[in-house]
């Protein structure tokens, strides 16, 4: 997966989170959970974009790991929305699946980057 593919995919993830938020019942509890989800879910793509401009491998890894933290947090808010029955499990399935897939991709990126030689020969 190339940078532009992941850039588009993380942006689509953010848009899916925003759409879910707009469909939430207008109750205090759902709005609190929804705001938290919007904050973390939209941050994934921003963190990824920052990572692609990293000044070093360490900077890149740090920012990718930041995106991973945001995905973990998003996963938590999605779990709460589902388990509290504010949103049906079926409505959350695709977003939860994408959260897991993005985590897997970013974990792979971090592992591969960490295994790269520090001073590759050109």
Has residue 22 been placed in a domain?
yes
Ramachandran angles phi, psi of 48, nearest 5°? -60, -45
The set of long-range contacts for 51-56, using a CB threshold of 8 Å and a minimum separation of 24, is 52/3, 52/7
Q: Determine the number of helices (DSSP H) and then strands (DSSP E) in the chain.
A: 4, 0
46-63 burial: b if 16+ Cβ within 10 Å, else e: bbbbbbeeeeeeeebbeb
Does pTM surpass 0.95? no
Has residue 121 been placed in a domain?
no
Split into its structural domains, the chain has a count of 1
Q: What is the pLDDT of residue 116?
A: 86
**What's the pLDDT tens digit per position in 26-37?**
999 999 999 999
The Cα 102–Cα 111 span in angstroms is 14
Has residue 105 been placed in a domain?
yes
Q: What is the CATH number of the domain that holds 79?
A: 1.20.1440.60
Has residue 33 been placed in a domain?
yes
Q: What is the pLDDT of residue 47?
A: 97
**What's the pLDDT tens digit per position in 58-117?**
999 999 999 999 999 999 999 999 999 999 999 999 999 999 999 999 999 999 999 987
């Amino acid at each position: 997966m190339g940078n532009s593919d992941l850039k588009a995919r993380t942006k689509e993830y953010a848009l899916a989170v925003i759409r879910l938020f707009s469909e939430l019942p207008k109750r205090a509890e759902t709005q609190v959970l929804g705001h938290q989800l919007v904050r973390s879910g939209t941050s994934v793509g921003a963190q990824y974009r920052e990572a692609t401009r990293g000044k070093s491998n360490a900077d890149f890894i740090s920012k990718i790991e930041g995106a991973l933290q945001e995905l973990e947090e998003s996963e938590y808010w999605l779990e709460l929305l589902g388990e509290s029955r504010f949103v049906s499990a079926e409505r959350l399935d695709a977003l939860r699946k994408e959260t897991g897939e993005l985590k897997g991709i970013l974990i792979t990126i971090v592992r591969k980057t960490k295994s790269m030689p520090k001073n590759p020969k050109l």
